Structure 1
Amino acid sequence: MFQNQRQIQIEWGDCDPADIVFYPRYFAFFDASTGALFEAMGYSLRDIRGQANQVGFPMIDTRSQFYKPSKYGDIVLIESQITEVGDASFDIKHRLFNDEQLAVVCSEKRVWAGLNEQGELKAQVIPDDIRQRMLA
C-alpha cells in the first residue's frame, strides 16, 4: 500500500523542560505526515476539499508507543504507510526513527468525511481514484 517518508528537525518549541519532545507534538508530526502522504499520492487537502462537499479525513482513533526520546536538534525520519482501506475509512501507520533507531510508532484510523444535505459531517465512500492510489 502507498507509503511516504519525510525528515524533520526537532525544534526548540517541540521540547519540554527536560529537553525531550513533548508527546503531543508527535501527534502533530504524524498529522502533518498524513498530509504529506496524500500530497505524495497527488492529492492535497485543498484538492480533496475542492471535491463536492468533501471535508477531508478526520481522525477517529490514534495510539502511540514511545521507545526512545528525541531532543532539540535531532533530525528524525518519519515513515508513513497506509495499512488498510475500507469503504469509508483507512488506517495509517507512522514509524519515527531517530539515529536509525525506532523511537515512536503511531497508528491512526481516519474516516473519509463530507457534509450531507443538512450540513452535518458524515462518513462517505472514499472516491475510487483516491482508493486506487491508496492501494498502490
Structure 2
Amino acid sequence: MLIHEHTRQIEWGDCDPAGIVFHPRYLGYFDHCTNLLFAKVGFDLATLQARFTVIGYPVVDLHSRFLSPCRSGDEVRIETWVAEFRNSSFDVQHRLYRGDALAVEATVTRVWAAQDPADPQRMRGRPVPKEVRVALHNV
C-alpha cells in the first residue's frame, strides 16, 4: 500500500473564532492530499479525465474523529492512502498529526464517476481501472 505524506502549516484563515481549525477545513486538506496521492503515481485529475473518460472521484461518505485541536502556526503532517477498493468506490484513509500526536483521522469514501450516458446532467459510478489499483499498491 502506497502512503503519501504531506506537511503543511495551519494558516490563520483556517481557524474559527476560538482559534482552532474550523472542522470543514480538514476535508479540504484531505481532498488536496488525495489529489497528491493520485498525482504521485501519474494519475493527476487531468490525466484521469483524458485517459479514462471520468469526471473524477467525488466524496459520497465521510467519517472523522477529532482528537486534538490544531491552531494557526502549527505544522501538521498528513498521511493518506487508499485503504480499500470496491468495484466503483474506494475508501481513502487520512491521519493528521501535530508533532507525534494524532490530531484528526478520517475515512473518506469516493466513487469513480463518469457522465451518465442516459442523462448528461448526472454522474454514474464506473469500475476503478486495474492499473489505478495496481499503481496505488492495492489490487
Same fold (TM over 0.5): yes
Name the counterpart of 2:136.
134
Q: How many residue pairs were aligned?
A: 136
Q: In structure 1, what residue type is equivalent to 2:129? A: P
1:66 and 1:116 map into 2 onto residues whose CA distance is: 36
Name the counterpart of 2:108.
108
Could you give the per-residue CA deviations for residues 69-128 of structure 1, whole angstroms, max 9, x where no partner exists?
000000000001111011211111100000210000010111101013232310001112
Q: Secondary structure at the match of 2:61?
A: strand
1:52 and 1:39 map into 2 onto residues whose CA distance is: 15
Name the counterpart of 1:49.
49
Q: Secondary structure at the match of 2:55?
A: strand
- Which 5+ residue runs of structure 1 have no aligned equivalent? none
1:131 and 1:61 map into 2 onto residues whose CA distance is: 20
Q: Give the ranges of 4+ consecutive aligned residues of structure 1 lying more than 6 Å apart after TM superposition.
A: none
Q: Secondary structure at the match of 2:103?
A: strand
TM-score by length of 1: 0.94
Q: Secondary structure at the match of 1:55?
A: coil
Q: Aligned-residue CA RMSD in angstroms? A: 1.2
CA contact (8 A) 1:112 1:125 kept: yes
